[in-house]
A and B are shown apart, each in its own frame.
Chain A
Amino acid sequence: MASSSSTYLVAHEVSYAYPRRGRSGTAHAVDGVSLAVPRGSFTGLLGPNGCGKTTLLKLMAGVLRPESGTVTLEGRVLADMPRRTAARHLAVVPQDTHPAFDYTSLEIVLMGRHPHLRPTQLEGPGDLAIAYESLEATGTLHLATRPFTSLSGGERQRVVIASALAQQPDILLLDEPTASLDLGYQLEVASLLRRLSRDRNVTMVMATHDLNLAASMCDALALLRGGRLLRHGPTSEVLTTGTVRELYDVEADVHFHQAAGHLTVTPVRRVG
């Protein structure tokens, strides 16, 4: 086990089952998963639908409390930390954001400052500067006063990422950040995240079902199936024809693509 300075966000044997009314004995969405995310890494949580990657992401973000096991941040148990304190280190980018009210992009980004403010404190000029800077980092400064709901899918995701950046987190957890985007926007957001990971030294954990996206962005992968962790390690080691078959029952060609600069996965046929 690596020293605590390099393993940053760690899940120890966590399990979680969604509470269901009147029904007992439901299968666990996440079952005894242990995962250590090193500082500065870009880890992908991969697996088919229902494998538990979103649940694991929420557990590691502290949005859900594990039934058993613990999640620790720099050695401290996340569930015991005050929410505000945890929020200063961890930020979440959900898959879709559908605000119930007509907030502007700037208002949404400013909400990222909430953990840094006292309960009834209002944002000041400093917070405003951080918000503008976050918008700029995601290339959405020109959308600041536009209503969020009037933006395109790609623009929205970038504003939401800006909003998470405004939290000035050490770790960013993203749930399928490009799932609802067109190809062009997918590449846009992917390159943005890569850049942020490098330039700002933000640790990233991303749940995705897109193998090629994961290969292009992540230096480490955790493969999940049925709530259990199958494999975890560097991308080049984990992403193989064998693991793809294990995970998806699909025969695929996995090779390093010169022009793209990363591993690519091309599905061939179904098996098993």
Chain B
Amino acid sequence: MMAEGAAHTALHHALRGPRPIRTRLVLTVAGFGALAVATCVLAPLVGSSSINLRRALDSSIPFAANVDAQILFIARLPRVLAGALVGAALASSGVVFQALLRNPLATPFTLGVSAGASLGAMLVIILGGTIAVGPWSPVPLASLAGAGLAAAIVYALANGPRRVMSTTVLLLAGVTLNAFFSALIVFVQYLADFASVYRATRWLMGDLDVGGFAPILAALPLVAVAALIFMRLPAALNLMGVDPDSASSRGVDVVRAQRWAFFSASLATSAAVALAGPIGFIGIVVPHLVRLLVGVDHRIVLPASALFGASFLVLCDLLARTLLAPVEIPVGVVTAIIGGPFFLWLLVRDA
């Protein structure tokens, strides 16, 4: 009898309570997905100059002579796609790092991956380097190597045999690495000649104008691998986000989940930074905005952040290249101007 009564109450509540997760997930992915698609389709149509869309799509004009087509397909489209890829990668790895560090204020750059990437890029820009591997040109390749090195160091420091990764050690290692690599970056720039310093500074501001599809295709497999791992993490992240010990007693291999989370988020961040330089604030602003809209369940927040991150960065880049046309604002500046005050507001609100 008690069971019947309970079932009644449960049904009653089910009708009045929050929508079941399956529905919410579908609605959220559909909604943010539509936004992402719309952004990526419309953004190439807008730019610092106006193009004749009909001319651009006119296949009777030879491509090499069709300036409108060149602008649309070579100058703008790769840029939008790079923005979508980098935005999705940074936003989703932001979510994962926040879960790993059990801190909503963590960013993809907290653990030093970006500093390592920047140092790698600096060294090649300033000392010169011609090693290229496949579609990876020297600077992105060195950036990737630097990021990998930083991640490896943090991993080695925070990992112990059969031990759960201590978030304290992770944070300390990351902060230390950030400071150390940043100091090295300044030092290397100090020794360089003016032209190299210009180029280095420019790289540090972030640049989605990657000049073609090749760099995007180079970064894509890495982000795809990270995404595949991301798909298996959310339930574990939820459980660990409540209590790591309870998570363990509910069937989560916490050590393994942490390692996979660290690896995949570092991989996505490394690829994004290698492709377009360090673009800040995506990894913190997007997850927070998404949480405000859809709640904190990682099974929804993670895919939603990836999709919204794509739209967000594409829109920021749109502003960057049109606001003061023909002068271009570096996209990292736009994300900072939007993200900085937002971040401060978050801190004040949570205090």
Task: Note whether A and B contact each other (Cβ less than 8 A).
Answer: yes
Please give the residue numbers on chain A whose beta carbons come within 8 Å of chain B beta carbons, in ascending order.
19, 21, 58, 61-63, 65, 82-84, 86-87, 90-92, 94, 97-104, 106-108, 111-112, 114-115, 117, 119-120, 122-125, 128-129, 132-133, 136-137, 141, 144-145, 163, 167, 173
| A141, B22: Cα distance in complex, Å | 22
Question: Could you list 11 A-B pairs, sorted by A, with CB under 8 Å?
Answer: A19-B163, A84-B251, A87-B249, A92-B246, A100-B99, A102-B291, A104-B18, A108-B242, A114-B239, A133-B6, A144-B17
A-B complex: 10 closest residue pairs judged by Cβ atoms: A132-B10, A84-B251, A100-B102, A92-B249, A87-B251, A101-B296, A133-B6, A129-B10, A115-B251, A83-B251
| A102, B242: Cα distance in complex, Å | 9
The proximity string for B residues 235-278 relative to A, scoring 1 for CB distances below 8 Å and 0 otherwise, is 10011011101101111110000000000000000000000000
| A104, B294: Cα distance in complex, Å | 12
| A12, B329: Cα distance in complex, Å | 68
| A62, B241: Cα distance in complex, Å | 19
Any chain A CB within 8 A of the CB of B103?
yes
| A115, B161: Cα distance in complex, Å | 26
* A107 with B251: CB separation less than 8 A: no
Measured CB to CB, the closest approach of chain B to A170, in angstroms, equals 13
* A167 with B21: CB separation less than 8 A: no
Q: Which of B14, B20, B235, B250 counts the most A-chain CB atoms under 10 A from its CB?
A: B250
| A137, B17: Cα distance in complex, Å | 18
B interface, size bucket: 35 or more
* B9 with A136: CB separation less than 8 A: yes
Q: Which residues of B contact A144 (CB under 8 A)?
A: 13, 17
* A103 with B253: CB separation less than 8 A: no
Any chain A CB within 8 A of the CB of B299?
yes
CB neighbors of A among B18-55 (8 A): 18, 20-22, 25
| A141, B25: Cα distance in complex, Å | 24
* B235 with A91: CB separation less than 8 A: no
Please give the residue numbers on chain B whose beta carbons come within 8 Å of chain A beta carbons, in ascending order.
3, 6-7, 9-11, 13-14, 17-18, 20-22, 25, 99, 102-104, 160-163, 231-232, 235, 238-239, 241-243, 245-246, 248-253, 291, 295-297, 299
* A111 with B20: CB separation less than 8 A: no
* B160 with A19: CB separation less than 8 A: yes
Q: Which residues of B contact A103 (CB under 8 A)?
A: 238, 241-242, 296-297
Q: Which of A120, A132, A137 contacts B231 (CB 8 A)?
A: A120
* B296 with A83: CB separation less than 8 A: no
Query: Which of chain B's residues has its CB closest to A85's CB?
Result: B251
* A133 with B22: CB separation less than 8 A: no
Q: Which of B11, B103, B251 counts the most A-chain CB atoms under 10 A from its CB?
A: B251
* B14 with A111: CB separation less than 8 A: no
Q: Which residues of A contact B253 (CB under 8 A)?
A: 83
Measured CB to CB, the closest approach of chain A to B298, in angstroms, equals 8
Query: Which of chain A's residues has its CB closest to B10's CB?
Result: A132
Contact A128 B9, CB 8 Å, known A92-B249, A123-B21: no
Q: Which residues of A contact B160 (CB under 8 A)?
A: 19, 21
Measured CB to CB, the closest approach of chain B to A199, in angstroms, equals 8
Measured CB to CB, the closest approach of chain A to B153, in angstroms, equals 17
Measured CB to CB, the closest approach of chain A to B228, in angstroms, equals 12
Q: Which residues of A contact B102 (CB under 8 A)?
A: 100
Q: Which of A111, A120, A123, A141 contacts B250 (CB 8 A)?
A: A111
Measured CB to CB, the closest approach of chain B to A18, in angstroms, equals 10
* B13 with A122: CB separation less than 8 A: no
Q: Which of B13, B242, B291 contacts A111 (CB 8 A)?
A: B242
Measured CB to CB, the closest approach of chain A to B231, in angstroms, equals 7
* B245 with A58: CB separation less than 8 A: yes
* A99 with B297: CB separation less than 8 A: no
* B7 with A102: CB separation less than 8 A: no
Contact A145 B17, CB 8 Å, known A100-B102, A120-B232, A167-B250: yes
Q: Which of B10, B17, B248, B299 contacts A133 (CB 8 A)?
A: B10
Measured CB to CB, the closest approach of chain B to A96, in angstroms, equals 8
Q: Which residues of B contact A163 (CB under 8 A)?
A: 246
* B231 with A129: CB separation less than 8 A: no
Measured CB to CB, the closest approach of chain A to B257, in angstroms, equals 11
Q: Which of A86, A92, A100, A136 contacts B6 (CB 8 A)?
A: A136
* A106 with B242: CB separation less than 8 A: no
Q: Which of A82, A120, A123, A141 contacts B20 (CB 8 A)?
A: A123
Query: Which of chain B's residues has its CB closest to A147's CB?
Result: B296
Contact A83 B245, CB 8 Å, known A100-B102, A133-B6, A144-B13: no
* A122 with B243: CB separation less than 8 A: no
Query: Which of chain A's residues has its CB closest to B22's CB?
Result: A122
| A99, B98: Cα distance in complex, Å | 13
Q: Which of B25, B235, B243, B297 contacts A94 (CB 8 A)?
A: B243
Query: Which of chain A's residues has its CB closest to B167's CB?
Result: A100
Q: Which of B14, B239, B246 contacts A125 (CB 8 A)?
A: B14
Q: Which of B14, B104, B162, B238 contacts A65 (CB 8 A)?
A: B162
* A122 with B21: CB separation less than 8 A: yes
Contact A115 B250, CB 8 Å, known A97-B243, A99-B241, A122-B21: yes
Measured CB to CB, the closest approach of chain B to A88, in angstroms, equals 8
